[in-house]
Structure formats: structure tokens, C-alpha cells
Amino acid sequence: MRATDLVLVLTFGLGLTGCFSPDVSGGPSATDGAPPQADGPGRVVDAAPPPIDACRSCAEAVAAFRFQGTVDDEIAGHHGNQVGAGLAFVPGRAGLALHLGDDASYVHVPDSDTFDLTAGRVSLWFRLGDTPTGDLGLLSRDANGTEQGGHFNLRVGHDRRVVARIQQQSSPTIEVYRCSTTTIGDNAWHQVEVEFGPGGLTMWVDGAVAGGTSWTDGGGQAHDCAGAWTGGMAGNNNPLVLGALTVTSSEGTGLPVVAVATGVDLDDVELWRLP
């Protein structure tokens, strides 16, 4: 792993001990203590410390957005639509990455039942251009209200802490947050991985479990970052939006968006199904 890279892993769900297998690509195996970070079929770019990454062979990739000149999914045809004129392809970690150049540009991926993961993984890399003055949405499959379960989003908060949120269908709303204790610096690549399933929700930052117990949003409301969670994204019929949040959108539309990640670069956005 490059010294300039911070690896953060958010994992909600599965303890995959016993699921490790050697890396057939020639990189380090789980027994080396530094399992490989898979970067798509046949590619290994960096070694990442979280032991969960040694279990790539246990997971089934359901979507991968590499941004090699397009916003197309390389796995199963869940192709994205470019919204706005401010998107550009810039040098990334390996090849190209997607740059979000203004506050009206992001990627909209139509909903698919494939994304209704009971146990799964969401993974992406990002690089900040400037210090956030507000929240920056990295990935969102969310909407206003509680008509559906499994609402999920991932952001860099106004305080430069990484925050994940998932919501259960209920009234009143039951929601669970995970938040990092460390803040994110500018101009370096950072990895985020989130896993969910019946085992709950855990977050790793740079290979260590994050100890954040609460997070206060820009409006001054505090959120618990230590609550239990046993669900996934099943029952969610919202589109997948990359580079913005859809927390105020109407169910099933992905509109409107807020917290567009202006100035942020995205790379290697992946969704995986776990057993």
C-alpha cells in the first residue's frame, strides 16, 4: 500500500473468519498477514490490511464501475447515466477515475433487483479536491421517508469524517450510523468498504475498527454510531447514485439530489454479494 493512501473499511455484517483462501493472482495470501485488495477480475493494485479482503473468492461481484472513459458497469450491464456537464475522466489509481467538476454533475444508475443484497459489500475509492464545507455524497441508494427498507448512503461529512447510514422500514424510523474517528485529508486516495448482513454493522478505518460513538450533522443533530443492525439493502427500490446523496428524493426516483461531491474523484465502485 502506498504511504499516501489511507484505507478505510466499513463492514456491516459478516464475520468471515474461516473463509480465507490464497490469492491466485500471485499477491500475498491471507497467511501473509496482508491480504490483497482485489481491484477487479485479475487485477490487484494494493495490499489492504483488513482481513475481510482475503475473502474475495467468497463473494460474487454484481457491479463494477471502473470509469475507464465511461460510467458503464463492467460486470452485468447496470450502466450509469451521466447527469450534468461537469463530469470528466482523469488519471486515477490505475488507469482513469471519474472527476465530479460541479455541483450539478453525478452518476445515476437505474434500480435493479440485483442490488437488493441481504448480505453484501459496497466498495469504492475516493480523493477529495478541497476541504468540505458541507457533506459530500459518495454513494446513495436512499430516499425521503420510510416506505421502503434498506435505505443506504455513504458520505464524507462536513467535519471530514466518513459516515455510513442504513435505515429500516418502520415508523418511527430506525436508522443506524457508523462514523470514523479520524478525519480525511485532501489530495490522497482513500478506500471505503461497507459490508452488511445478519451479523451487524462494523466500520474499519485504516484496518482498525472505528471507535466513533456519535456524529453530529451540519444541522446540529446528533446521531448514534453504535446501534445494532442486522439487515441489508433488500426491499430498496431506489436507483444507485454515485457522487451525491438522495436523502430528500421521492421513492424510486433518485431526485432531487443533495450534497453533490464537487471536486471529488471516484474510482473502482463495486457491489458484491456475500454468501
Is residue 186 in some structural domain? yes
Question: Strand 6-11 and strand 189-196: pairing?
Answer: parallel
**Residue range 192-232, pLDDT digits in tens:** 888 888 767 776 766 667 778 888 988 888 988 888 877 88
Who has greater pLDDT, 12 or 234? Answer: 234
CA atoms within 13 A of residue 62's CA, in its CB half-sphere = 17
Inside any domain, residue 94:
yes
According to the model, what pLDDT value does residue 62 have? 94
Range of the domain at 153: 6-273
| Average pLDDT over the chain, rounded to an integer | 77
| 41 located within any domain | yes
Task: For residue 177, list its beta bridge partners.
Answer: 165
What is the arithmetic mean of pLDDT over 144-150? 73
User: Do the Cβ atoms of 145 and 169 come closer than 8 Å?
Assistant: no
pLDDT digits (tens, 9 = 90+) for 29-74: 333 333 333 333 333 333 333 334 445 557 889 999 999 999 999 9
Q: Domain total for the chain?
A: 1
* Amino acid (one-letter) located at 117: L
Q: Is 1 among the domain residues? A: no
Tell me the three state secondary structure of residue 61. strand
Paired with 91 in beta bridges are 96
Q: Is residue 217 part of a domain?
A: yes
| Whether the predicted pLDDT of 19 surpasses 60 | no
Residue 77 has pLDDT above 70, yes or no: yes
More confident position, 181 or 269: 269
The tens digit of pLDDT for each residue in 91-134 reads 999 899 999 999 899 999 999 999 999 888 888 999 998 777 89
CA 206 to CA 209: how far, in whole Å? 8
Q: What is the CATH number of the domain that holds 27?
A: 2.60.120.200
Q: Is 146 within the bounds of a domain?
A: yes
Reference 139, options 154, 121, 125; nearest CA is 154
